[in-house]
Amino acid sequence: MGNSFGQLFRITTWGESHGGGIGVVIDGCPPRLKLTEADIQPDLDRRRPGQSKIVTPRKEADRVQILSGTFGGKTLGTPISMWVKNEDMRPEAYSEMATMFRPSHADYTYQAKYGIRNWQGGGRTSARETIGRVAAGAVAKKILREQFGVNVLAFVQQVQKLTAKVDANTVTFKQVESNIVRCPDQTAAEKMIRLIEKVRRAGDSVGGVIECVARGVPVGWGEPVFDRLEADLAKGMLSLPASKGFEIGSGFAGTLLTGTQHNDAFRMKGGKIRTTTNLSGGIQGGISNGETVYFRVAFKPVATVLRPQQTVDVNFKNAILKARGRHDPCVLPRAVPMVEAMAALVLVDHALRQRAQCG
């Protein structure tokens, strides 16, 4: 239970951090879509460990292999199965976690729920599980781009108290990828990198905020009440490891405005209904209104830190844990493609639902 996501475009991920590999099965992908590993690998390269000095040094090529669902470089309409082999596994670095629960991690809750857990790198709770999401998200982004004219892009907007100045309406992929922290504001990016390096040297971690924009979303995507578009986006984002908050459009800042200040006025423009502002974040009543969809996701500092911490062991005795192993001092740079993937999975699912229901 809890390993699948989506309705018409449905994914199921599988695998643990130090098992044989990580994979995903996509069910509901339309047939005749041109698709090879080359369409998927770039996003996995952006997610993989060891890519810069401010992420975990675990060395993984993360080369994806499509096992089923394609023929002659095109999708068949049957389930697409993909996997990535785990190569640089060092379970001995996690031996302390076999008997002690890491604070603010999933060790204790998984043990309490199932009576058993894979303590090697967190097993299923590791961010390595997101390989499957990012691979499936690459397929979803391709469908959105080629069949619906929708583009999804995320970037680091804040690291701790350092905030970037970015125009979400004009920011480009090239700007996002111009530095290792994936922040389009170069001045802010340099400060963020220095902060992450400082925190890493201290054996600690730091969190922040990622912003995501989806341009070209037409009017009408989303469902009433429980399947509102922003509700599904929130679920997708809050299912990501280390995510702790979600806000769309004006978000919490909107509470400081009056109704007349916050309402997005309608005007006719080019024969279409448009809004003069976009404080709604492109969604009203749970349904897209034709404006750019944008939202932000808050990520906590990574729970595993290389400093002594108070904890409890499996025998329910107080203990002190000093973790070893290879860990991200800040999850944000690698979480950018994860946020994009989950946004694309939500949007493509609703795109296909709209097509099925309304043509």
Which amino acid belongs to residue 62?
Answer: D
Is the confidence at residue 292, as pLDDT, over 90? Answer: yes
- b/e burial code for range 280-297 (CB count within 10 A of at least 16 → b): bbbbbebbbbbbebbbbb
| Digit-coded pLDDT (tens) for 310-353 | 999 999 999 999 877 667 899 999 999 999 999 999 999 999 99
| Digit-coded pLDDT (tens) for 155-177 | 999 999 999 999 999 999 999 99
Length of the chain in residues, anyone? Answer: 359
| CB proximity list for 207: less than 8 A, separation 6 or greater | 159, 160, 242, 244, 298, 299, 300, 301, 302, 330, 331, 332
pTM: 0.96
In 3-state terms, what secondary structure has residue 50? Answer: coil
The neighbour count for residue 255, using CB atoms within 10 Å, is 8
Judge contact between 17 and 112, C-beta under 8 A: no
d(CA 99, CA 321): 10
Task: Enter the DSSP assignment of 231.
Answer: H
| Residue 123 binned pLDDT confidence (cut-offs 50, 70, 90) | confident
In this prediction, residue 120 carries a pLDDT of 82
d(CA 217, CA 43): 21
| Digit-coded pLDDT (tens) for 42-90 | 999 999 988 888 988 777 889 999 999 999 999 999 999 999 998 876 6
- Superfamily of structural domain 4-358: Chorismate synthase AroC (3.60.150.10)
- Residue holding tokens 């996690």? 94
In 3-state terms, what secondary structure has residue 216? Answer: coil
Kindly state the helix (H) or strand (E) to which residue 12 belongs, with its residue range: strand 10-15
d(CA 226, CA 217): 20
d(CA 91, CA 325): 9
* Domain residue ranges in the chain: 4-358
| Digit-coded pLDDT (tens) for 11-42 | 999 999 888 899 999 999 999 999 999 999 99
Is the confidence at residue 99, as pLDDT, over 80? Answer: yes
Kindly state the helix (H) or strand (E) to which residue 213 belongs, with its residue range: strand 208-215
d(CA 52, CA 100): 30
In 3-state terms, what secondary structure has residue 157? Answer: strand
Residue 311's alpha-carbon distances to 221, 304, 306, in angstroms, are 46, 12, 14
Is the confidence at residue 94, as pLDDT, over 80? Answer: no
Which amino acid belongs to residue 5?
Answer: F
In this prediction, residue 60 carries a pLDDT of 82
Q: Mean pLDDT for the chain? A: 94
Judge contact between 263 and 257, C-beta under 8 A: no
Q: Give the strand order in the sheet containing 80-85.
A: 4-5, 10-15, 21-27, 80-85, 64-68
Which amino acid belongs to residue 161?
Answer: K
The token pair at 286 is 């749970």
